[in-house]
């Protein structure tokens, strides 16, 4: 009997140690995320287009150009998801990607593509996103390279890296779209801008859905998480810089 009680106590002790280890691990991950995001926001704030005084003085031509080229920043995200889904190790992981696709299609609401079209129309009724999807007239070289590099890096790395990169990408959606919303509010336009597309991305909870998987990778392979997060942040910042330069040079 005493032997059984001792064994039970030992198991309980082990379980609570694992529990506290997990809490400490998550604290460490959260601290890493805080620092990573702060550094990202600091660099983002230095980019021309995101400065209030610059955004307030954009010409109508520059704004329309931004709408056309920004479509290609997010309009190719389905390839990112495709790479993940085709390499997902199990049904649970595949469901995660499918849920993301489902959300892109908007469930019983308009798809994100439709919302972008609505946004584009509110700025210039002649912009046709469906046509741009086919013709890719404004798919500039640096944007093509940006999207290709995402898929190249995803395909070249392990699932743990892929899920970390996916988490980093989703985490930055909230940051990026909040910054973009601020920029849109600076535009001096005759008609109001329909910003639903931006609102839903600024408030999306995709990162939270990935947190559990990310914390498992952090537990086993901290360096993999750091590598993927660094790649996504620097890749995103170089794209924003080129996009800003391109709009401001119009
Ligand atoms: Fe979306």
Choose between 212 and 17: higher pLDDT.
Answer: 212
Q: What pLDDT is recorded for position 25?
A: 72
Domains and CATH numbers, the chain: 38-248 (1.20.910.10)
Q: How far is the CA of 102 from the centre of ligand 1 (A)?
A: 10
Are 76 and 147 spatial neighbours (Cβ–Cβ below 8 Å)?
yes
Of residues 59, 34, 72, the one with CA closest to residue 175: 34
Q: How far is the CA of 221 from the centre of ligand 1 (A)?
A: 29
Q: Is the pLDDT of residue 18 over 60?
A: no
Q: How far is the CA of 15 from the centre of ligand 1 (A)?
A: 40
Q: Is the pLDDT of residue 9 over 90?
A: no
Average pLDDT, the chain: 92
Separation of CA 78 from chain center: 12
Of residues 174, 163, 165, 178, the one with CA closest to residue 205: 174
pLDDT in tens, 156-202: 999 999 999 999 999 999 999 999 999 999 999 988 999 999 999 99
Crossing angle of helices 141-156/60-74, nearest 10°?
20
Q: How far is the CA of 96 from the centre of ligand 1 (A)?
A: 15
pLDDT in tens, 193-211: 999 999 999 998 889 989 9
User: pTM of the entire structure?
Assistant: 0.88
């Amino acid at each position: 009997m005493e032997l059984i009680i001792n064994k039970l106590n030992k198991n309980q002790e082990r379980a609570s140690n694992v529990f506290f280890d997990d809490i400490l691990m998550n604290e460490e991950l959260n601290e890493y995320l805080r620092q990573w995001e702060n550094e990202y926001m600091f660099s983002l704030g230095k980019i021309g287009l995101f400065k209030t005084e610059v955004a307030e003085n954009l010409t109508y031509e520059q704004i329309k150009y931004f709408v056309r080229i920004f479509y290609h920043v997010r309009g190719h995200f389905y390839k990112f998801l495709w790479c993940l889904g085709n390499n997902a190790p199990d049904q649970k992981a595949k469901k995660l990607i499918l849920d993301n696709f489902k959300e892109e299609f908007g469930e019983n609401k308009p798809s994100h593509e439709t919302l972008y079209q609505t946004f584009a129309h509110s700025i210039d009724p002649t912009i046709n996103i469906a046509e741009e999807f086919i013709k890719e007239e404004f798919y500039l070289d640096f944007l093509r390279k940006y999207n290709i590099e995402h898929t190249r890096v995803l395909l070249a790395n392990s699932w743990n890296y892929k899920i970390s990169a996916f988490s980093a990408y989703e985490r930055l959606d909230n940051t990026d779209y909040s910054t973009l919303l601020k920029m849109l509010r600076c535009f001096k336009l005759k008609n109001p801008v329909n910003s639903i597309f931006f609102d839903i991305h600024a408030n999306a909870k995709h990162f939270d859905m990935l947190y559990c998987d990310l914390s498992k990778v952090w537990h086993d392979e901290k360096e993999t998480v750091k590598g993927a997060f660094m790649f996504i942040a620097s890749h995103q910042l170089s794209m924003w810089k080129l996009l800003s330069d391109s709009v401001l040079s119009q």
